[in-house]
């Protein structure tokens, strides 16, 4: 039987989602707990990787088991034993060939910029002291939708076959004392969202123009793009799948 976990986590204490040889990861913590609860070694496969310090409001992972389980009971026990910064929201049965990573059709991220110093959100939003032109930032964000190759925003020396991504939506909006950047695509490269945000901030600071952004993308050179903004302001917010992969919902 194959099952999907739907979960969320605060990434502050973890060195990203994926298992690391010398650092604690979200995947490792969940695997250890679920293996003890089911009394067998369980390996889980996530929908993707999040970097150290990045949060997930919605993440999916799959695991295999030889027998049916009482899903609500397992969810209750997982939440009882997992640390307070990881929460399981649902467990559901999927088709045997359903894959948490490869069957995902889109992923959405949110980046939070704080416009004022706030004693309560300093570790959940990036405080930027300078004034930003949000209209220019939205013009530049719209420009992203007309491109496919985003090598300029990818972490260097990554093992990927293609730098092509289909960005379906990208925009900024002000919510209270924060600027929120939301972006949806079929896939993302390592460090891509944080590099895009850093580059769009440079547009908002009027250090570069929208035309400069076009040249940066065409260059395929990471050193031409903006800085990588801090991880603590980034959230994986939504992952979508075709309904056909599920057996029971």
Q: What is the pLDDT of residue 46?
A: 96
User: Would you say residue 82 has pLDDT above 80?
Assistant: yes
pLDDT (tens digit, 9 = 90+) per residue, 18-57? 998 889 999 999 999 999 999 999 999 999 989 999 999 9
Select from 192, 121, 189 the least CA-distant residue to 160: 189
Active site residue 51: yes
Average pLDDT in the 151-155 region?
A: 93
Active-site position among 51, 64, 85, 123: 51
pLDDT at residue 161, as a whole number: 86
Cα gap 158→154, rounded to integer Å = 8
Assign 70 to helix, strand or coil: coil
Sign of CA dihedral 99, 46, 87, 83: positive
- Per-residue pLDDT, 207: 96
Rounded CA-CA distance 8/30 in Å is 12
Asked if residues 152 and 224 have their Cβ atoms less than 8 Å apart, the reply is: yes
Between 245 and 32, the higher pLDDT residue: 32
Q: Looking at 102-226, which runs of residues are DSSP E strands? A: 106-114, 126-127, 167-175, 178-185
Task: Tell me the pLDDT of the chain averaged across its residues.
Answer: 94
pTM listed for this prediction: 0.94
Query: Number of C-alpha atoms within 13 angstroms, CB side, residue 114?
Result: 16
Q: What percent of the chain has pLDDT over 90?
A: 91
Whether 90 contacts 62, CB under 8 Å: no
* 248 — pLDDT class (breaks 50, 70, 90): low
- Tell me the C-alpha distance between 93 and 139, whole Å: 42
- Higher-scoring residue by pLDDT: 181, 67: 181
Let me know if 96 is exposed, middle or buried by CB neighbors in 10 A (0-12, 13-18, 19+).
exposed
Buried b (16+ CB within 10 A) or exposed e, 71-84: eeebbebbeeebee
Percent above pLDDT 70 for the chain: 99
pLDDT, one tens digit per residue, over 161-187 is 899 999 999 999 999 999 999 999 999
The two three-digit tokens of residue 144, written as one number? 């992203």
Q: What is the pLDDT of residues 94-147, one digit of tens each?
A: 999 999 999 999 999 999 999 999 999 999 999 998 999 999 999 999 999 989
Q: How many residues does the chain have?
A: 249
R_g (Cα) of the chain, nearest Å: 19
């Amino acid at each position: 039987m194959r099952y999907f976990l739907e979960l969320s986590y605060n990434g502050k204490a973890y060195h990203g989602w994926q298992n690391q040889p010398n650092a604690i990861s979200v995947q490792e913590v969940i695997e250890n707990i679920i293996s003890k609860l089911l009394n067998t070694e369980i390996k889980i496969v996530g929908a993707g990787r999040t970097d150290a310090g990045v949060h997930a409001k919605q993440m999916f992972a799959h695991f295999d088991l030889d027998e049916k389980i009482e899903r609500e009971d397992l969810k209750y026990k997982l939440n009882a034993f997992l640390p307070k910064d990881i929460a399981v929201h649902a467990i559901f049965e999927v088709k045997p060939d359903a894959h948490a990573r490869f069957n995902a059709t889109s992923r959405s991220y949110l980046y939070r910029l704080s416009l004022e110093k706030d004693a309560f959100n300093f570790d959940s939003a990036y405080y930027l002291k300078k004034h930003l032109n949000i209209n220019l930032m939205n013009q530049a964000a719209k420009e992203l939708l007309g491109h496919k190759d985003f090598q300029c925003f990818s972490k260097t020396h990554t093992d990927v076959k293609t730098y092509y991504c289909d960005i379906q939506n990208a925009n900024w909006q002000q919510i209270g004392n924060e600027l929120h950047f939301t972006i949806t695509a079929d896939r993302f490269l390592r460090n891509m969202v944080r590099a895009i945000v850093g580059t769009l901030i440079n547009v908002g600071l009027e250090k570069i123009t929208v035309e400069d952004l076009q040249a940066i993308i065409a260059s395929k050179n990471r050193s031409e793009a903006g800085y990588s903004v801090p991880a603590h302001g980034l959230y994986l917010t939504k992952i979508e799948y075709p309904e056909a992969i599920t057996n029971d919902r």
